[in-house]
Amino acid sequence: GTGSNILSALQDLFWLSKSKVEKQLQIISVLQWVLTFLVMGIACTLILMYILCTDCWAIAALYLAWLVFDWNTPKKGKYCRTILAWVRNWAIWRYFRDYFPIRLVKTHNLLTSRNYIFGYHPHGIMGLGAFCNFSTEATGVSQKFPGIRPYLATLAGNFRMPILRDYLMSGGICPVNRDSIDYILSKNGSGNAIVIVVGGAAESLNCTPGRNSVTLRNRKGFVRLALHHGADLVPVYSFGENEVYKQVIFEEGSWGRWVQKKFQKHIGFAPCIFHGRGLFSSNTWGLLPYSKPITTVVGEPITIPQIDNPSQNEVDFYHSIYVDSLIKLFDKYKSKFGLPETEVLEVN
C-alpha cells in the first residue's frame, strides 16, 4: 500500500533501519494531528484573510462562496462517501495508531436495525482514542461493527473554521449540537452511532496520569436524546487516555480554575496547561503525547425505548442504568489493561 511504498523510499534514501523509519513516521503522523487540533483552525482563517489581500483573492473568494453555500452540511453529518472512505483509510492513521499503540475492543454485536449513542469516557486532553477508533479505520471499526456508521461529535465551533471544517467532516466528524444529532438519528436511516465524549471540557480539567475519573453525574442530555430517538446507549471506556499527557491541575476555588471555567462557559473549551514529550527525545517536554497504550472498550448496548417527551424520572432512571453499566465495564476490564483490582472509577 501507500504506507509501505513511503517506508521503502525513506529507507533507501536515508539508509535507516525499518524500525527507525517507522518510528519517525509515527511521530510525524501524531504531530500533524496535534497541530491540527491546536492551531489549524486559526492558521487557516489567517491564511484565508491574507490571500484575500493578495492578487490571488479570487481563490479565497470562491472558497468563501462555497463556505456560505455549504454552511449547513456539518449539521447533517453528510459528506461524499468516496472521500470519506479514502481519508479514513489513509496510511498515516495506521502510523498514528501504532505510536501509542491504540486498540479497539468489541464486547458485543450491534444491530444495524438500531441507532446508537456511544458515551465515550474519559475525555483526556485531546480525545486521541476517540479520534483514532471512530474517525479513522486504523483499528478496524467497520470490520468489528459491520453496517454501523460512526460519527464522532466534537465542539461545534470547529466547524466555523475554514478548511478545518472540511478536514473534520472528511473523517465523519460532526458538531456536538442538537441539530446534527437529531438529523443523524432521525433522517439518516438506521445503523448510525453518534460518539459523544460526555464529560467534555469539564472532564479534561481533571485528567492526569494515574487517575480514572469521569464527569457524568449531572450529564443527562445525551440520555434525553437517546430516549427521544429510541437510540440505544453504549458505554465506552478508554483505558490509558489520561496517561498520554501531564497537566497542571488547579484546585477548585483557585484563580486558575476560575479562568478555565470562564473559558468553558463562554467559549466552549477549557484551556489546559499540559505537556507531553519532545519531538526528538522522550526526556524533554513538548507537544507530542507520551507513547502509552490506549485501549478503547465498547460495552454492551442498553436498549432504550422511544419516548417523544421523556419525563425527568425516566431520564434519571436510564441515566442510572448507564452509570452502573459504565462502572461494570470498567471493573470487568481494568485488570486486563494494567490497573489493579482495587482501582475504583471516580464518577463526578
* High-pLDDT (> 70) share of the chain, %: 93
Residue 244, pLDDT > 90, answer: yes
Structural domain that includes position 293? 3-347
Which helix (H) or strand (E) segment holds residue 238: the answer is: strand 232-239
Helices and strands: H and E segment counts in the chain: 15, 12
Residue 10: predicted pLDDT: 58
Q: Using pLDDT thresholds of 50, 70 and 90, give the confidence band for residue 2.
A: low
Q: Write the pLDDT tens digit of every residue in 93-105.
A: 999 999 999 999 9
Q: Write the pLDDT tens digit of every residue in 126-172.
A: 999 999 999 999 999 999 999 999 999 998 888 989 999 989 988 88
Going from the C-alpha of 229 to that of each of 118, 176, 189, the distances in angstroms are 14, 16, 12
Q: Counting beta carbons within 10 angstroms of the beta carbon of residue 18, is it exposed (0 to 12), middle (13 to 18) or buried (19 or more)?
A: exposed
Residue 15, pLDDT > 60, answer: no
Residue 72: predicted pLDDT: 85
Q: What is the 3-state secondary structure (H, E, C) of 101-164?
A: CEEEEECCCCCCCCCEEEEEECCCCCCHHHHHHHCCCCCCHHHHCCCCEEEEEECHHHHHCCCH
Domain count, the chain: 1
For cell 481533571, name the residue. Answer: 206
Higher per-residue confidence, 7 vs 341: 341
Mean pLDDT of the chain: 90
